[in-house]
Chains A and B, each alone.
Chain A
């Protein structure tokens, strides 16, 4: 079924009885050309791009839980292309361009809203850094505006501009940045992949990877063995466990990142505001809840919930930046498992096993990368060579020390990002 305004009208007048499931629920076949392990945003996007751009292949996505149950349904939905380093900036620029045409490509309302992102700064030094980053973004072909204090005040008048420790000096304004409906992104890619023949198999946990003489042959799953010519691992926080099935140790440490939402409020926050000094960022969902988050919980964890110290820190930052938030009641908090890499940047690469590919290390920034990650991983798996915009996401950069993508400038060891 193709979605359109006409379809909505027709269904509205006929009791909404004509809607059908957005994708099939097939049983796994005995063999595929390509198996994607992981039905999250990145895995579904990979399957979609494989089917849409490199047709004629039998493709399956194996998901141990349900579509939308992992990080793609647990993030704070921010989409942006404000990266600085060569290697990162062209990739995220590509991703934002894919975001801008995603809804038309998928015929699916992902509620992508380019409401603009304000990265605040609080000192002369930070202003210089913001100007430099903005210039890099413009050089990349994206947009950036350096706002002074008054310029920020005109957009978000209710911040604490005269905070003793962090007075607001201005902001880097990225107008094409914004938010999207995260579940709809997963569902849209799932539907798009399914329509192009991809089998999306939920409740199917991969328990082993079959390798013979250094060549991948298939996978063992909770629904039995499945043969495959190529296998892609795209499992975010569980990367270490799946890679271990292929005898690999990957440069990943899994930690929890929490997020929070208040009760639904009338429109109050039109943009995304980030307060880097407090590790805090906030936006308002279309339902009215203020969605905000902070830093990771800063120790290895697979619990999809956080601990109180980080919650307290985030709430303190919220009150520091935006005192009016104290009037709102916090409704829910939750956590997702982040695959933290040493330099804070991802890996899209081949492995030492022929036909086995790895996509991991998205840290706490995977959501905005969903379209380009899928496009680039599909390119790598179909052509056996990296996509030009993802050419620097190499696994061996940690061993060689070349092309380390340390966007924050804090180092290339665990626990620094």
Chain B
């Protein structure tokens, strides 16, 4: 699998650290309650198909990326800087 970093270009998957679902960009308020925090930390949609997840270009530019890809075929549809996603919309799912 190769991931096209918006800053560095297409790189081998080995350069990237996988964090998990892009839900990590939607941190609940501290007082949102245990159900909201449980959903945020533990419960996952975990789709078989199109998904968005968060990768860190650890061995490259160190940017956090939102990668939209297919969990069944490993096809990658698009990569955005997490900071752009966060600024553009509050909804990263």
**Does A342 belong to the interface (CB within 8 Å)?**
yes
Query: Is the pair B74, A414 in contact by a Cβ cutoff of 8 Å?
Result: no
**Does A398 belong to the interface (CB within 8 Å)?**
yes
- Among the stretches B33-41, B58-66, B85-93, the one at the interface with A is B33-41
- Which A314-370 residues sit within 8 Å CB-CB of chain B? 342
**Does B48 belong to the interface (CB within 8 Å)?**
yes
**Does B44 belong to the interface (CB within 8 Å)?**
yes
**Does B71 belong to the interface (CB within 8 Å)?**
yes
How many residues on B have C-beta within 8 angstroms of the other chain's C-beta atoms? 26
How many residues on A have C-beta within 8 angstroms of the other chain's C-beta atoms? 26
The answer for the CA separation of A241 and B21 in the assembled complex, in Å, is 16
Query: Is the pair A307, B38 in contact by a Cβ cutoff of 8 Å?
Result: no
**Does B27 belong to the interface (CB within 8 Å)?**
no
Query: Is the pair B74, A301 in contact by a Cβ cutoff of 8 Å?
Result: yes
Query: Is the pair A238, B48 in contact by a Cβ cutoff of 8 Å?
Result: yes
| Chain B residues positioned under 8 Å from A76 (CB to CB) | none
The answer for the CA separation of A139 and B42 in the assembled complex, in Å, is 33
The answer for the CA separation of A220 and B46 in the assembled complex, in Å, is 22
Residues 1-27 of chain B, each 1 if its beta carbon lies under 8 Å from chain A, else 0? 100000000001110001111000000
Which residue in chain A gives the minimum CB-CB distance to B13? Answer: A309
Return the contact of A398 from the options B18, B42, B48 (Cβ within 8 A).
B42
| Chain A residues positioned under 8 Å from B39 (CB to CB) | 249
Query: Is the pair A300, B38 in contact by a Cβ cutoff of 8 Å?
Result: no
Query: Is the pair B41, A253 in contact by a Cβ cutoff of 8 Å?
Result: no
Given the known inter-chain contacts A298-B18, A302-B71, A303-B73, please indicate yes or no for A249 contacting B45, CB distance below 8 A. yes
**Does B72 belong to the interface (CB within 8 Å)?**
yes
Given the known inter-chain contacts A300-B51, A300-B53, A303-B73, please indicate yes or no for A253 contacting B13, CB distance below 8 A. no
Q: How far is the CB of B47 from chain A (nearest CB, A)?
A: 7
Q: How far is the CB of A143 from chain B (nearest CB, A)?
A: 35
The answer for the CA separation of A413 and B42 in the assembled complex, in Å, is 7
The answer for the CA separation of A302 and B72 in the assembled complex, in Å, is 5
Q: Given known contacts A240-B47, A249-B45, A342-B42, what 14 new A-B pairs fall within 8 Å (CB)?
A: A238-B48, A240-B46, A241-B48, A251-B44, A253-B20, A254-B71, A300-B18, A300-B20, A300-B51, A302-B48, A303-B71, A303-B72, A399-B38, A413-B41
Interface residues of A (CB under 8 A from B): 238, 240-241, 244, 249-254, 298-303, 307, 309, 342, 398-400, 412-415
Cβ contacts A to B, 24 pairs, < 8 Å: A240-B45, A240-B46, A250-B44, A251-B42, A254-B46, A299-B18, A299-B53, A300-B18, A300-B20, A300-B46, A302-B72, A303-B71, A309-B13, A398-B42, A398-B43, A399-B34, A399-B38, A413-B41, A414-B20, A414-B21, A414-B42, A414-B44, A415-B19, A415-B20
